[in-house]
Amino acid sequence: MGKPTGFMEYQRELPSERRPVERVHDWNEFHNQLPEEELKKQAARCMDCGTPFCHTGMMINGMISGCPNHNLIPEFNDMVYRGLWKEALARLMKMNNFPEFTCRVCPAPCEGACTAGLAAAPVTTRNIECAIIEKAYDEGWIVPRPPVRRTGKKVAVVGSGPSGLACADQLNKAGHWVTVFERADRIGGLLMYGIPNMKLEKWVVQRRVDLMAAEGVDFITSTEVGKDYSTDKMLNDFDAIVLCGGATKPRDLPVKGRNLTGIYFAVNFLSVNTKSLLDSNLTDGKFISAKDKDVIVIGGGDTGTDCVGTALRHKCRSINQFEIMPRLPLERGSTNPWPQFPRIHKIDYGQEEATALYGDDPRHYCITAKRFIGDENGQVKELHTVNVEWVKDDRGRFTPREIPGTEKVWPAQLVLLAMGFVGSEDILLDQLGVDRDDRSNAKAGYGQYATNIKGVFTAGDMRRGQSLVIWAINEGRGVARECDSYLMGSTKLS
């Protein structure tokens, strides 16, 4: 530990962000970066505690505590404090293939488990991670490093999200010929089309894809395995197959009026917006516009926030976001102690922007949709809701109960359903004959990743269900180890 008293001498400082009223007029990232000397002070706050929980990756009370990828956080923090940036990069990249992604979109469970957070504010690990990787690119330290030898084995990776990319990157390092299949027209999966540009600019994704291509990974776009490329052909052409197709089946809202025009799944709203933005800067009109509309987002997670931020940039007339759950407390409760992930109320970028523009946080809690009402053309025009309270049933489980007299009618010409996902799509798994678990995901044990079909593996959201990008990277690395061991009899992949 370079600065034993750093956590006492320096306060947690984050870089400034562009003002909400300014950034809603473009699609650029809104985070700035601290000067190098200030970053060293922030890194000095890392205590190098005897048992660092930040990189343990334990599951506590059903939630991850610390980094599931076991990133070597105290080590790269110490290197940054000492000004040893190349050494910091080496420690950072040892466990994380894509820190330029996680530093932008990860909710930082590492910070939630930071020991310094017991007495003060946690270390700004995510910001330090971003500084390391971007400095490495700026200095030219990140260059293509193709493997020195090839095994002759061929592996197909289906899906180019974070798990598929991590798997492909690792298997390519092991010397296998890797082909990544993606049904969209660009590589990246949810990184490209599921996360909006102001949160993760797409040149960041393309930069890494170009690097992997230069190292020998073959990318095939606009090709859906099971439709455009038969599973029988894939089984014949490749020595192993890794399924990383994600959990792309969205949860629906089966209430009266659901079939009206103007009601969309959030993932569709976000993906066509990003595609139009990349293709034409939104001049082609091939997106779902929120301009001059009363928009309601149903769902309170990250995807819901992304819908809020996107609708604001379209210049919607009004924005409201509904969440059936109660608002979280401002501080940790007695049932949510450190080092659990802190379940506390936060104001994300979308809500911050809506508050700046309209004066109020757009979120409404303990509220549920009852029905949609449309006009004479079948276009949604209003949403009827009722408030709920959470009570215990006869089994002791909390369930929502409607509160009489709280019905309300909301104007709405655009409704976005952001209630998560319920599993993988069926075509590919059915054609291959892959067994499913009780949540309809591809069935394969954590740490083994092998399906019931010989030579076919699976990882990421397709195996575990909707989860974090860092979990996807963790699983992509894990399935690469198992696939390499299957092909070669042993593996040196970490």
Question: Mean pLDDT across the stretch 158-167?
Answer: 98
- Asked, colleague to colleague, whether 6-138 and 263-417 share their fold, the answer is no
Average pLDDT of the chain is: 95
Least confident residue range of 36-40, 118-122, 164-168: 118-122
Task: Report whether pLDDT(1) > 70.
Answer: no
Per CATH, the number for 263-417 is 3.50.50.60
Task: Report whether pLDDT(481) > 70.
Answer: yes
Chain segment 60-88, per-residue pLDDT in tens: 888 889 999 999 999 999 999 999 999 99
Task: Report whether pLDDT(299) > 90.
Answer: yes
- Give the residue extent of every domain in the chain: 6-138, 154-248+422-488, 263-417
Give the C-alpha separation, 358 to 17, whole Å.
19
Task: Report whether pLDDT(92) > 70.
Answer: yes
Class of the CATH domain delimited by 154-248+422-488: alpha beta
Give the C-alpha separation, 413 to 261, whole Å.
9
Give the C-alpha separation, 25 to 6, whole Å.
39
Q: Provide the residue type at 353 as one letter.
A: E
CB count within 10 Å of CB 292 equals: 11
Chain segment 10-21, per-residue pLDDT in tens: 999 999 999 999
Do residues 384 and 411 touch, judged by C-beta distance below 8 A? Answer: no
Within 13 Å, how many C-alpha atoms sit on residue 209's CB side?
22
Residues 6+ positions from 443 with CB-CB distance below 8 Å: 434, 435, 436, 437, 451, 452
Task: Report whether pLDDT(48) > 90.
Answer: no
Residues 6+ positions from 473 with CB-CB distance below 8 Å: 69, 96, 97, 98, 101, 102, 162, 163, 166
Give the C-alpha separation, 264 to 285, whole Å.
17
pLDDT of res. 394: 87
Task: Report whether pLDDT(190) > 90.
Answer: yes
Task: Report whether pLDDT(395) > 90.
Answer: no
Q: Is residue 370 very low, low, confident or very high in pLDDT (cuts 50, 70, 90)?
A: very high
Chain segment 194-203, per-residue pLDDT in tens: 999 999 999 9
Q: Is residue 25 very low, low, confident or very high in pLDDT (cuts 50, 70, 90)?
A: very high
Give percent helix, percent strand, percent coil of the chain, each to the nearest 5.
35, 20, 45
- Nearest one of 375, 351, 376 to 361, comparing CA atoms: 351
The domain 6-138 is classified under which CATH number: 1.10.340.30, 2.40.340.10, 1.10.1060.10, 1.20.1740.10? 1.10.1060.10
Question: Mean pLDDT across the stretch 356-377?
Answer: 97
Strands in 91-213 per DSSP E: 154-158, 177-181
pLDDT of res. 405: 97
Task: Report whether pLDDT(172) > 90.
Answer: yes
Q: Report if pTM > 0.85.
A: yes
Task: Report whether pLDDT(208) > 70.
Answer: yes
Task: Report whether pLDDT(157) > 90.
Answer: yes
The tokens for 349 are 């970028």
The tokens for 386 are 């009722």
State the DSSP code for 257: T
pLDDT of res. 477: 98
